[in-house]
Amino acid sequence: MAQRALKALRQAQGFYPERSRRIKKGLFITFEGVEGCGKSTHSKLLFEYLKKSGYLILHTREPGGTKLGESVRRVLLDSSGILISDLAELFLFEACRAEIVKEIIMPALDKGSIVISDRFSDATFSYQGYGGRVDLEAIKTLDRVATTGLVPDLTILLDIDTLEGLRRARKKGIDRMEKKDISYHKRVRSGYLKLSKQYPGRIKRVEVSGEIPEVQAKIRHEVEIVLQKFKRPR
Ligand code: ATM
């Protein structure tokens, strides 16, 4: 246990390669995007499709997915006036991540499962980093410790105009994060776009326009490409 924490810290300091691919067998797919982009609809549709195709598969979300995560989610999203700074948010999201990686994601990947998560580390860089202006290097260090270096194999970034997304999301009610001002949400979207340019091999931007089946087809296309590589013996 202590050795694992030490390894994570050393990875964070750059002593080890970032990827943990060597020690996992499954495939890790994440969905990202600003509010109202249709992330949960599309991740669930993909989950059903892959499940019907016979894959061992797990769907989860962040913050959430564990008892700790779901409890902290209520604190983070409750709009009833708890003060939480951007820095405190960072620690709360990363605490949930440490738990879900250890409790849910790594064990499933070790069994060879496909894991689909609604949000993961890119959300922290985009929301707390670009949106909340918390130092990106600090996030990188903390996130590597929380994830023990786990990076998704594929990230689907569902991209929608910020205002249109918020308009759609607000139909369902407004949570604490959605209450942040529009400039915050615009920085989040541009943060996501920066990340997709920084990691073009992993983050695939899918424009949210047209009907749900059209968008889902684009997502499945990206997933099939990764699945082909995944099936190939290493
Ligand atoms: P969902 O939209 O996926 O339910 O996520 C809840 C919020 O948590 C979402 N807020 N808005 N608006 C994004 C936010 N979030 C972060 O700010 N940082 C993170 O690291 C994660 C995982 C989520």
Closest listed residue to residue 58, CA positions, set 28, 23, 97: 28
Tens of each residue's pLDDT in the chain, 234 residues: 456 655 655 555 444 444 444 456 899 999 999 999 999 999 999 999 999 999 999 999 999 999 999 999 999 998 777 899 999 999 999 999 999 999 999 999 999 999 999 999 999 999 999 999 999 999 999 999 999 999 999 999 999 999 999 999 988 888 888 889 999 999 999 999 999 999 999 999 999 998 999 999 999 999 999 999 877 555
Residue nearest to atom 22 of ligand 1 (CA): 62
Residue nearest to atom 21 of ligand 1 (CA): 123
Rounded to the nearest whole angstrom, what is the distance from the C-alpha of residue 191 to the centroid of ligand 1? Answer: 14
The CA distance from 36 to 202, in Å, is 22
Rounded to the nearest whole angstrom, what is the distance from the C-alpha of residue 178 to the centroid of ligand 1? Answer: 9
CA-40 nearest atom, ligand 1: 3
H/E stretch holding 211 reads none
Fold of 26-227: Rossmann fold (3.40.50)
